[in-house]
Structure 1
């Protein structure tokens, strides 16, 4: 469960930072910004503490000495005017602070004098500081004096200030003094330091981004070359190799790619050689079988004509030989046709035909008129290969009759493809139980049998695949589905362009047969794939 939020976060980050270059730059910038801000912050606070402590100690030490030199030299019984003069003398210091002195004059009156009543009076002294200054502490081994110097930083308006206070040690009552020093110069110095550190942080960030760009370029250039090589390898350029330099991880990756490409090239070459050998073997075998098969077919035709005159014990055997010979002939023709498609030598011989007439001729030639219902308007013209269209229709209708039963409905209509091309649509629907859902994806596979208990059947298992190849060579497609009606059977839909001239022109340079002959007559190829 904990992986889900992290996965969503990772997905958002990949959406915000779609490229590796951008991610590298952002990571470099964040690291540099974090380091620069941390260093600048530490430097600022260290300098701030040092500056304030130095200014504070200098002012307090000077104030303590001034208290001793000025207030400490007053007579035992002094007047308020003498206390005022002492406050003025104390404020006349290089540390630039103001002074307030408190005491009792010779007449017993309280004196509250200030070096500058406009800038500093007793009211400006925090009460907490005043209580600490006036508090007498017992003298013991841990405390040598009853009174101490105390200080506090305050802010008056927007100006930072330092307030310090102390009571003279001696026979009481003695004067008490307070000083007020402005820390504005130190604040200005610290502000200048902050600006300097901020500028340094910005420069460091810019430098980090430039370094990130350089690093990204260094890293991504070989990655880009690797991606380009992988794309070319995927497009079939198996001789693609990368130039390897260096000993880093990317160089190791390039070497691995080269080894993989070399191994793949060798493996594909071996597979291609074996495939070519197998295809040549099938073609040669099918071609060599034609001569003896022709002789056998002639003999079986004679035996079939004389079957009624044969011994009843021999007649069934003769019938079996005749049917199996025909099946073998169909298989050889189908194998020859498949070999042409695999070798890429099959081509279109175009003619302009009336599709309804073509369907009628196909049905009539195979004596299916009573078992097929035709729904096609005359006058739907198409330019395609009539022989290959006949092969497609024979396989689809024959397959529907064998597995779905009659009546088979064939409907012809026109339409448009998604690219706006005029299309011919032929739909073949039967009344059978339909095709099982697990079989539907495989009905056009070669030699596919829906039931393992029927490895032998009247069909070669190639009919529907040959029909599909003939549709592809026209630039069309065949799809299979089950009708939605409760009693509906299988529905095969053939889609062909109404003009295949462009495809025929593209294949003009290809040979028609591997052995130099023409395509030949495929015969009655209505032995469809087994469902």
Structure 2
């Protein structure tokens, strides 16, 4: 560390209860915190009351004992002849009662077994003269109170002088200690009785506090599940009522926003569907005209033939784009019903490759018949999109394999191209009009094939995924549930039930 540099001070994190015992449940934390606070308050209040009462009782007992001894000495002192003899000391000691000691110079009158509690400090304090001494001591039998005082004589002129007589009295504090023990038991029972009361009150408080929070959490889950009309009923004027009001305002604003977005989305889908439908007929007519132009251009120059061929290709691409847009608009609108049939998926895949003339570029992996309940038309479209995408963006041979895995059937399409781009997420490939590079913009595809395949897979309750194969290039896997437990319908012996109303929509 260089001179002048000061070590940086890290701010200490706030204290948190140890996780070993501090509960994670909010209700448990509220109950525990309430009980702890209530018990601490009850204990502090009881302890403070006990200490104050104990001090008051001890002081009052001590004051009464001192006043009693003073009164006895004031009453008996005039009856004693001075200087007193042994007999006078005995009479004075008898009047003071048990556990008392009276001394005068070398004479002593004593009675009781507790006189050994009189300490030398007490004797020295009394010997100093005009001083009333009180001392609390404890022996095997319990607490005692030692009271000591000299007897003073009053002269004619009113002045007091020491008579030389010293009086010591030991009083038992057992009754006072018994009273203190009773108070201690009452304090302990009070604190113990406060525990169940604190638990009951904590349960009531936690219920009143957490019930609105639970309703808010339930409403938030309903809101997340799509029930935008859910609302809370605020009660009271506290912060929880303000929170419920804020939630209602947020839900109302969200409902309006989502409703507007859904309306706009429906309008956009309707527009795409209308445009695609309106373009379909003129594009078909235009395709026929362009094919006639291509046929007539065979007798023309090479440039004319090239232009005619390019025009026909672009027209066909436009026709495929219109068909795909129309198909997606139907899928998005949920107007598509699956027509499941119990078929051999391997046979359907082979027909797809053969009818499109891809036999030379596609290798079909031989397999046993794989039965599944699927929509044949949508399976054909999905497989054609995956194989066509592999032929356009990969390199042959394209390998297609059909196999089973648990209760699913898998159609695996693998090309031998460079694989998926490193900077592209596999899920992005199924986005509409997604182009991984600028070269795809000039390809024959519409940019919607993989999107249509994804929606068709979801309609079946399946998935489609993409990755880069370690042995080859890009690999696409279409996974569909077999639904072999579904009984075929009675119409043709092979067709399954139409479950477009119950199958998962895109």
- Confirm or deny a common fold (TM above 0.5): yes
Contact 1:483 1:490 (8 Å CA) reproduced: yes
User: Which residue of structure 2 lines up, in the alignment, with residue 250 of structure 1?
Assistant: 240
1:193 aligns with 2:183: yes
Contact 1:154 1:160 (8 Å CA) reproduced: yes
In 1: Cα distance, 2:373 partner to 2:349 partner:
14
Structure 2 SS opposite 1:368: coil
What is the TM-score normalised by the length of structure 2?
0.85
1:296 aligns with 2:286: yes
In 2: Cα distance, 1:178 partner to 1:506 partner:
113
**Cα–Cα, structure 1 residues 52 and 17, in superposed 2: closer, same or farther, change >3 Å?**
farther
Question: Unpaired segments of 5 or more residues in structure 1?
Answer: 92-96, 105-109, 137-145, 417-421, 512-531
Moved more, 49-58 or 248-257: 248-257
Structure 1 SS opposite 2:25: coil
Structure 1 SS opposite 2:147: strand
User: Which residue of structure 1 lines up, in the alignment, with residue 52 of structure 2?
Assistant: 46
Within 5 Å, give how 1:442-461 maps onto structure 2.
Answer: 442-451=428-437, 455-461=441-447
Structure 2 SS opposite 1:450: coil
Structure 2 SS opposite 1:412: strand
User: Which residue of structure 2 lines up, in the alignment, with residue 115 of structure 1?
Assistant: 111
Deviations 1:78-108 (A, max 9, x none): 44454233222112xxxxx62123333xxxx
In 2: Cα distance, 1:195 partner to 1:270 partner:
71
RMSD of aligned residue pairs (Cα, Å): 3.0
In 2: Cα distance, 1:357 partner to 1:285 partner:
36
User: Which residue of structure 1 lines up, in the alignment, with residue 301 of structure 2?
Assistant: 311
Deviations 1:364-393 (A, max 9, x none): 223322322322313222231222222121
In 2: Cα distance, 1:79 partner to 1:436 partner:
125
Within 5 Å, give how 1:134-153 maps onto structure 2.
Answer: 134=127, 136=128, 146-153=129-136
Within 5 Å, give how 1:61-460 maps onto structure 2.
Answer: 61-70=67-76, 73-91=79-97, 98-104=99-105, 110-116=106-112, 119-121=113-115, 123-134=116-127, 136=128, 146-157=129-140, 159-169=142-152, 174-416=164-406, 422-439=407-424, 440-451=426-437, 455-460=441-446
Give 1:11 shift. Answer: 6.0
User: Which residue of structure 1 lines up, in the alignment, with residue 3 of structure 2?
Assistant: none
**Cα–Cα, structure 1 residues 501 and 283, in superposed 2: closer, same or farther, change >3 Å?**
farther
In 1: Cα distance, 2:205 partner to 2:436 partner:
59
In 1: Cα distance, 2:327 partner to 2:402 partner:
26
Give 1:314 shift. Answer: 2.0
The number of residue pairs the alignment matches comes to 478
Contact 1:70 1:86 (8 Å CA) reproduced: yes
In 1: Cα distance, 2:134 partner to 2:502 partner:
103
**Cα–Cα, structure 1 residues 401 and 336, in superposed 2: closer, same or farther, change >3 Å?**
same
Structure 1 SS opposite 2:328: helix
Structure 2 SS opposite 1:350: strand
User: Which residue of structure 1 lines up, in the alignment, with residue 492 of structure 2?
Assistant: none
Moved more, 206-215 or 383-392: 206-215
Contact 1:376 1:413 (8 Å CA) reproduced: no
Within 5 Å, give how 1:496-507 maps onto structure 2.
Answer: 496-499=480-483, 505=497, 507=499
Within 5 Å, give how 1:472-511 maps onto structure 2.
Answer: 472-484=458-470, 488-499=472-483, 505=497, 507-509=499-501
Contact 2:297 2:305 (8 Å CA) reproduced: yes
**Cα–Cα, structure 1 residues 11 and 306, in superposed 2: closer, same or farther, change >3 Å?**
farther
Deviations 1:152-172 (A, max 9, x none): 212112612212223334677
In 1: Cα distance, 2:92 partner to 2:364 partner:
129
In 2: Cα distance, 1:156 partner to 1:207 partner:
41
Contact 1:100 1:120 (8 Å CA) reproduced: no
In 2: Cα distance, 1:501 partner to 1:289 partner:
43
Structure 2 SS opposite 1:414: strand
Question: Unpaired segments of 5 or more residues in structure 2?
Answer: 1-9, 154-160, 488-495
In 1: Cα distance, 2:430 partner to 2:110 partner:
109
Give 1:506 shift. Answer: 6.5
Contact 1:373 1:408 (8 Å CA) reproduced: yes
